[in-house]
Amino acid sequence: MPTALARLRTLCLALPETHEVESHGEPTFRVGKKQFAIFASAGNHHGNGRDGVWIKTTHFTQDALVRAQPERFFIPPYVAHLGWVGAWLDDDPDWGQIDELLCEAYRMVAPKRLKVE
């Protein structure tokens, strides 16, 4: 069974021209210079003892996810004011939902020529 990071990496790197950059000790996923996802490992203070991912989204989506599923989604530090949402990757996450959020985040930052449906 792949690790949460391996699964996240597979989803993110499947998007056109996405690459991985280590920043602050954690893998980040970008298109060009713009980030759309940040892995937060259980082993550092960002993960708070659990593997998670911070995903670029809108304030509306952030609020809706955290209110509807507070056991799965959270407000991440540092980037919450920009509308990002955190998702725990332990305890059998809904990878289909994570993939949808990642694709939407990608579309928010990707150049128009790379936009995917």
Would you kindly state where each structural domain of the chain is located, as residue ranges?
Answer: 4-109
Residue with tokens 């150049």: 111
> End-to-end distance of the chain based on CA atoms, in angstroms?
29
Distance CA 12, CA 17 (A): 10
Residue with tokens 């990496």: 9
Along the 117 residues of the chain, how does pLDDT read in single tens digits?
A: 679 999 999 999 999 999 999 988 899 999 999 999 999 988 775 556 889 999 999 999 999 999 999 999 999 988 889 999 999 998 889 999 999 999 999 999 998 887 665
In CATH terms, the fold of domain 4-109 is Aspartate Aminotransferase, domain 1 (3.90.1150)
What one-character DSSP code corresponds to residue 79?
T
